[in-house]
């Protein structure tokens, strides 16, 4: 789906601001995590999707080394040199672009600056990765004007480095890979050991509903670190215990966990159960989708959330409430927390004809339970980032 109105606004704003047309325009979508929670750093598998919300980035070459960058939604402009982009402490939104430019500069030294403007429609704060959409649209547009050609994984790593070094967010590669590798009506299955990507048919009989609770619970960083450390402890245990090589929890089966769980500290065993089970659910989910079994896939989503609640304990009352309410709504096939957990969003799989009604019902139920409505938006798996010819 091409966002013609958003694209026209972008071009109009660019020409009014800079007095000329852009030399390159790129578009990149946001993403949603559908199945596979906390599996990335355990070298496992994730099913995600590029979504039908994204960001356009337009740029035009300059004759000097100056870069002028404008955020189209607020029409705020920052200026910097092409060969020395520095992290901003006042205009944080610019750091995603500057970080990508720094990564491209390491590939090829810039010989000129640019004028640029970006504009998107990814709901901010929704857990749909507006940052990756900006990074990947920036990379594709700047590659074009600088004569650089990167493969998707190299481009994704530049976006990840921009998050780490300029935005201060220690993210994995899921967001960038999903944005780059999306395909209409398909999910993206990423193997986080090899970084190989395959596409799994999602079809047109299901859509995804994102429910953002805006709930934020304390101690998230410490909780994340504790869970990652428990996974590492479990990996070390299985590496000593099992007769085959174990580099990460991805190498441990559910049956092996069951056979050895009582030999580990109970908390470590429960933490390990989640990514081990998630890897199995992603592989089974890909098989079910290929067979057209949407209801079976939805049950795996419910099982994923229950594992988060019982074993990994990265859910919270707000997320649990939405998942339980979703079970009772006509047309809903599955639901689970999406992302790191401890607050944030739930992704719901629902038949397209029921999506709006389901969203209204969930918002109403959340309002009744917590005194305020959650935000909902309907998503469709969509094509990935690209240059606009």
Considering the candidates 52, 115, 175, 383, report the single residue annotated as catalytic.
175
Instruction: Say if strands 375-379 and 207-216 run parallel, antiparallel, or are unpaired.
Output: antiparallel
| Residues 164, 183: Cα–Cα separation, whole Å | 27
| Residues 172, 90: Cα–Cα separation, whole Å | 25
* 223 φ, ψ (degrees, to nearest 5): -65, -40
DSSP 339: S
> Exposed, middle or buried, 296 (CB in 10 Å: 0-12/13-18/19+)?
middle
Helices (H), the chain: 4-18, 94-107, 130-146, 152-162, 174-181, 220-241, 254-260, 266-290, 294-307, 317-327, 355-370
The two structure tokens encoding residue 221: 């960083």
Q: Which of 207, 48, 12 is nearest to 132 (CA)?
A: 48
Instruction: Say if strands 114-120 and 66-71 run parallel, antiparallel, or are unpaired.
Output: parallel
Q: Which of 269, 384, 248, 277 is nearest to 336 (CA)?
A: 277
DSSP 291: T
Q: Is 175 part of the annotated catalytic residue set?
A: yes
CA-angle at 119, arms to 115 and 121, nearest 5°:
170
Per DSSP, the residues of 155-218 read HHHHHHHHIIIII-----SHHHHHHHH--TTEEEEEETTT--EEEEE--SS-EEEEEEEEEE-T
Cite the active site residues. Answer: 175
């Amino acid at each position: 789906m091409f966002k013609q109105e958003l694209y026209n606004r972008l071009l109009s704003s660019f020409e009014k601001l800079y007095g000329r047309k852009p030399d390159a325009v790129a578009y990149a979508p946001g993403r949603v995590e559908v199945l596979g929670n906390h599996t990335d750093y355990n070298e496992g598998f994730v099913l995600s999707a590029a979504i039908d919300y994204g960001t356009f980035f337009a740029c035009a070459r300059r004759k000097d080394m100056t870069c002028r960058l404008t955020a189209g939604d607020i029409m705020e402009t920052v200026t910097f040199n092409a060969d020395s982009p520095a992290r901003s402490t006042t205009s944080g939104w610019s750091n995603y672009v500057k970080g990508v430019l720094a990564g491209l500069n390491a590939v090829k030294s810039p010989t000129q600056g640019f004028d640029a403007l970006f504009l998107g429609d990814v709901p901010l704060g929704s857990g749909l990765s507006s940052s990756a959409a900006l990074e990947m649209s920036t990379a594709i547009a700047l590659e074009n004007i600088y004569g650089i050609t990167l493969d998707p994984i190299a481009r994704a790593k530049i976006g990840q480095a921009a998050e780490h070094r300029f935005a201060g967010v220690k993210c994995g590669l899921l967001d960038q890979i999903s944005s780059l590798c999306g395909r209409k009506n398909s999910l993206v299955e990423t193997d986080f050991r090899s970084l190989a990507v395959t596409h799994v048919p999602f079809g047109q009989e299901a859509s995804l509903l994102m429910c953002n609770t805006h709930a934020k619970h304390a101690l998230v960083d410490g909780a994340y670190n504790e869970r990652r450390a428990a996974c590492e402890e479990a990996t070390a245990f299985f590496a000593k215990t099992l007769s085959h090589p174990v580099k990460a929890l991805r190498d441990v089966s559910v049956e092996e966990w069951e056979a050895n769980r009582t030999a580990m500290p109970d908390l470590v065993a429960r933490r390990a159960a989640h990514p081990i089970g998630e890897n199995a659910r992603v592989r089974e989910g890909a098989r079910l989708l290929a067979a057209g079994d949407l209801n079976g896939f939805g049950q795996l989503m419910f099982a994923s959330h229950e594992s988060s609640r019982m074993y990994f304990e990265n859910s919270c009352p707000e997320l649990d409430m939405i998942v339980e309410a979703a079970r009772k709504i006509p047309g809903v096939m599955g639901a689970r927390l999406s992302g790191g957990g401890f607050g944030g969003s739930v992704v719901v799989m629902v038949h397209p004809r029921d999506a709006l009604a389901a969203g209204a019902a969930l918002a109403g139920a959340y309002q009744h339970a917590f005194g305020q409505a959650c935000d909902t938006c309907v998503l469709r798996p969509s094509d990935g980032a690209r240059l606009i010819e």
